[in-house]
Amino acid sequence: MDIDIFSELLVPVIGGLGVFMLGLEFMSDGINNLAANKMRAWLAKLAGTPIKGLAAGTVITGVLQSSTAMTVMVVGLVNAGVVGLRPAISVIMGANIGTTLGNGLIALPLGPLGLISAGIFALLYVFSRSDRTRNIALAIIGFSLIFYGLNLLTGGLKPLRNMPEVMETISSLSAATYSGLAVCVLTAAGITAMIHSSSATIGIVMGLGAAGILDWQTAVAFSLGADLGTTITSWMASLNLSKNAKRAAYAHISFNFIGVAIMFPLFFLSMDILQWAMGLFGMEVGKAIIVDGKETFPLVPVAVGLYSIGFNIFNTAVLFPFIGVFDRVLSRIGASREDEEDYAVPRYLAKEAQSRFDTGVAAVSKELARYTEGAGLLLASARGNEKVLKNSAEHELALNTLNQEIRAYTAGLFNNNLTMQQANLAASLIEEEDFCASLTQNLSQISRRVERQLFSDNGKIIVSAILDMVEDAVKKGPQGVYLPQAHASQILALRERALQPEQKLSWDERGAILTLLGSAERAFNLVQRISEERQSVSRELGSDTNKPATSQPASGMLANPL
């Protein structure tokens, strides 16, 4: 049988694939324009615990219909310190489930309706003047084009069955044995890694299966490989980000790889289960139907969609109880071999300690002292001391993450059984956390201003004196006097020195130094406020927490409370 390769094969296949992927893009853009910021805010708010993270990841990805976009969003939130590593792992698990819901919808035989639906909403998009209406229309246009493109693709692939040389090549891709299964999985992973979309890969596989080019079992095996390939985007997104962001990407990779490794030896058993489940509803997955004189296999896309959903739910059910293990193992990844401490990972915030108020308070107090010590290291960056701190930006992100962990841990101490004194102490710890976070931001500003400005030799001497004052204050605390007042004369002397003509400083140098002096004053105020907060409510467990702790001068790292 002669085939017009251009009109019967290339036009519908390339056109259908293009329309399908354009539909994915339109739907993603429409939904992102409509709700991406809200989704990001909801995710940051909801992903506080593993259970909430799993639910948020499933629902939000189900709406956005892109596990890749969702995972990149999670990596970004972890990088910003908004979401901790443990809840991020559960969000990524939920994202894998959420994206399969779209795969199930793609399997529905709605192709002929896709074009008319896209046309109707295209008119609405063109003539509407409301951004909200246009974004809704764009999302529906994309959704409709997905079905129409898949329908074109399926029709265009059918003639391949009459080309022996093509069928001979494709027949080598068969998941009838474990070696063949491995080839199919790796091939699908490679395709997905190149096009950065597991949904697109699964759409192509559905088209090949519906056209009879791939048998249904091989098509399902390709969907398994798509879960591996989709991890490449989150890994690429994390390359230049913080250690914790990289760990979130590694969580996505390890979760998918472990899931596929578990399912690999169970694959043929799962095929029997899939056939049995579909048979309960009278569906025979390999049954052909004649359409326009050609065989088609409409239940193969259904099988692929159902298997994709079932696999990701099964994978999550198996691995969800081990989120704590993922967290502990991934937290060790990227740790420096030169004993450089990773401040993104809490040292004292053990779950067991949180079960009792006294041990929980002790844990928070120790972690806060460690956090403040880490904040002081930002000044080492301003001095260019790479031995103390190699990457100030990454260190600041780590401190932001640690602050979120401390805040969440402290909030977990609140319950209805607390006495007024205990509630007052917990509230004081949260106040202290806020001042510590402000101090970190202030020290980061000082560090960045010193790094950005080019100083002359005379300017460097003045800047070094400012850094000495701030570093001493952060390390030692108020030392029995009101800190800003104690340094007032030094600040005034340095200001006058910067303004002296004989210093030969440029005006931009003078402006930078005056700004640094203002930042130093704010740092003194914050150090003083942190110390006063620690003394306003006793940190001595078991004492009367309504009484001020003591009027004795603070000492040590901001008067370490415990």
What does the pLDDT read at residue 268?
94
CA–CA dist 405, 41 (Å, integer): 18
* Alpha-carbon distances of 481 from 442, 473, 494, rounded to whole Å: 22, 11, 21
What is the Cα–Cα distance from 545 to 487, expressed in whole angstroms? Answer: 32
Q: Are strands 289-291 and 294-296 parallel, antiparallel or unpaired?
A: antiparallel
β-bridge mates for residue 291, sequence order: 294
Looking at the fold, whether 468 and 504 belong to one and the same domain comes out as yes
Instruction: Assess whether 79 and 125 both reside in one domain.
Output: yes
Place of tokens 């979120």: 404
d(Cα 433, Cα 54) in Å, to the nearest integer?
28
> In this structure, what are the phi and psi dihedrals at residue 295, rounded to the nearest 5 degrees?
-75, 140
Q: Do 355 and 323 share a structural domain?
A: no
pLDDT computed for residue 318 by the predictor: 92
Residue 333 belongs to a domain = no
Looking at the fold, whether 444 and 496 belong to one and the same domain comes out as yes
* Residue 477 falls in which region: left (phi positive, over 0), alpha (psi -120 to 50) or beta: left
Please choose, from the candidates 66, 64, 48, 46, the residue with its C-alpha nearest in 3D space to the C-alpha of residue 56.
46
**Cβ–Cβ under 8 Å, residues 248 and 75:** yes
The answer to whether residues 229 and 102 belong to one domain is yes
Task: Give me the pLDDT at residue 383, please.
Answer: 79
Specify the DSSP element, H or E, that contains 214. Answer: none
Same domain flag for 374 and 254: no
In a domain, 230, yes or no: yes
Instruction: Report the alpha-carbon distance of residue 267 to residue 312 in Å, rounded.
Output: 14
* Inside any domain, residue 549: no
Q: Are 75 and 237 in contact (CB under 8 A)?
A: yes
Structural domain contains residue 344? no
Examine the fold and report which residue of 290, 312, 327 is the final residue of a domain before the chain moves on: 327
CATH number, domain of 529, equals 1.20.58
Shared-domain flag, residues 227 and 361: no
Taking the C-alpha atoms of residue 332 and residue 271, their distance in angstroms, rounded to an integer, is: 38
**Residue 190 token pair:** 């490679």
Strand residue runs (E) in 379-486: none
Q: Is 561 exposed, middle or buried (0-12, 13-18, 19+ CB in 10 A)?
A: buried
Residue 289 bridge partners (DSSP): 296
| C-beta separation of 208 from 219 below 8 A | yes
Q: Mean pLDDT per segment of 10 residues, for the chain of length 562 residues?
A: 66 79 74 63 66 82 64 67 74 80 57 80 91 87 79 66 61 84 90 72 80 86 86 70 74 89 94 92 83 79 87 90 85 57 78 83 88 84 71 77 83 81 87 89 87 86 89 75 76 89 87 90 88 80 47 46 42
- Note whether residue 28 is domain-resident: yes
Are the C-beta atoms of residues 474 and 558 closer than 8 Å to each other? yes
- The pLDDT value recorded for residue 228 is 86
- Secondary structure element (H or E) that encloses residue 78, with its range: helix 67-79
62 lies in the same domain as 183: yes
In terms of domains, do 364 and 318 share one? no
User: Which pLDDT does position 554 carry in this prediction?
Assistant: 44
Asked whether residue 321 falls in the same domain as residue 412, the answer is no
Domain containing 461 equals 351-536
Q: Looking at the domain assignment, is residue 336 inside a domain?
A: no
| Residues 230, 84 share a domain | yes
- β-partners of residue 294 are 291
Cβ-based burial of 321 (10 A; exposed 0-12, middle 13-18, buried ≥19) = exposed
Q: Does residue 562 lie in a domain region? A: no
Per the domain annotation, does 389 fall within a domain? yes
How many domains does the chain contain in total?
Answer: 2
* Co-location of 319 and 413 in the same domain: no
